Amino acid sequence: MTRLRGVALVVFVGAVALGTVRDPAPVLSGSAGLMLEADLHVHPFPGDGSLPVWELQREAGRRGLDVIAVTGHNSRAGLAIGRLVPLDPAGPIVLPGQEVTAPGFHLIAVGITRLIDWRLSARAAIADAHAQGGVAIAAHPLGSWGGDDLEALRSLDGIEVAHPIARGPRSVGVRLGEFFNRVRAVNPDVAPIGSTDFHMTAPLGLCRTYLLVGERSAAGALDAIRRGRTVARDSNGRLFGAPEHVAAVERSLAFASPRAVVPGDERLIALVALLALGALSLGGPPR
């Protein structure tokens, strides 16, 4: 029986190792046309998130995302640790960012190269994001934001209009929509954004942004946000955006290629590991 346990242990460890090596790399969602699916508000570990950057990339691929933005609260520690493990160049695009967490506003800065000082005003924080070549998105705005500085509102590139907090009281979703419409009155090209605000529980891409891009690249993703060529999707599948953009997204989704989640050989490896684990448990205590 001891020999059986030894063989089972070797098989189990081997199957787990093989499954890890063969774990399929994240793939792009295969949406027809030049459309990318993005979650632009993702918290990493270390920080308020549960996964390091390289695992966020893999999980994004499993969730059918093409782009994520890693946005720690006033921190780039998660991005720094993320450099320890190379990202998969064939996987989803990972954009560096920050959630500027300040009294009176939260701002998602995407595509930046250094930390933005949280003590800045909303207007100055947006200007800093732009100076770094990034975009600025108002995070989960439910009322007054940044002191309602008109120049700051005019400078925003995007607004989170779809966010998991809207799954609560209906008034929350209404307030997100009201803020978006109020800003759009003075900033007609502001981009509707859907984000999960991932920490530990809500799955990546629960709310997401469809980016109508000129190219599949980080630059293409940022340009789509700047030009307001986005559509936000909430957790119920509702789409928010200009009618022509919504129509383009619906056409693209209708022709999207199906994605294989777990290939057959991966299931076989998992079955072998499970059987080996069962043999270990039936082998009784070692003698």
HEC secondary structure over 201-238: CCCCCCCEEEEECCCCCHHHHHHHHHCCCEEEECCCCC
The span from the first CA to the last CA of the chain, in angstroms, equals 9
Looking at the chain, list the stretches that DSSP marks H as alpha helix, in order from N- to C-terminal side.
2-21, 53-62, 77-82, 122-131, 150-155, 170-184, 218-226, 243-254, 264-282
**Average pLDDT, integer, range 165-178:** 85
Q: Distance between CA 107 and CA 51 in Å, rounded?
A: 22
**Integer Cα distance of 178 and 141 in angstroms:** 10
pLDDT of res. 284: 47
Q: Are 130 and 155 in contact (CB under 8 A)?
A: yes
Question: With pLDDT > 90 as the criterion, what percentage of the chain qualifies?
Answer: 68
Which range is least confidently modeled, 25-39, 108-122, 153-167? 25-39
Phi, psi angles (nearest 5°) of residue 71:
-130, 80
Give the tens place of pLDDT for each residue, 201-234: 779 999 999 999 999 999 999 999 999 999 999 9
Asked if CATH classification 1.10.760.10 holds for the domain at 29-261, the reply, yes or no, is no
pLDDT digits (tens, 9 = 90+) for 107-153: 999 999 999 999 999 999 999 999 999 999 999 998 889 998 999 99
The answer to whether the beta carbons of residues 194 and 240 sit under 8 Å apart is yes
More confident site: 5 or 262? 5
Kindly tell me if the per-residue pLDDT of 60 is higher than 90. yes
Q: What is the pTM of this model?
A: 0.79
Asked if the model's pLDDT at residue 6 lies above 80, the reply is no
What is the average pLDDT value for the chain, to the nearest integer? Answer: 84
Confidence category of residue 282, pLDDT binned at 50, 70, 90: low
Q: Helix crossing, 264-282 with 2-21: angle to 10°?
A: 160
Yes or no: say if 123 and 150 are a contact pair by the CB < 8 Å rule. no
Region 26-32 average pLDDT: 42
pLDDT at residue 201 in the model: 79
Q: Which of 7-16, 37-46, 49-58 has the lowest mean pLDDT?
A: 7-16
Query: What integer pLDDT is reported at residue 173 of this predicted model?
Result: 85
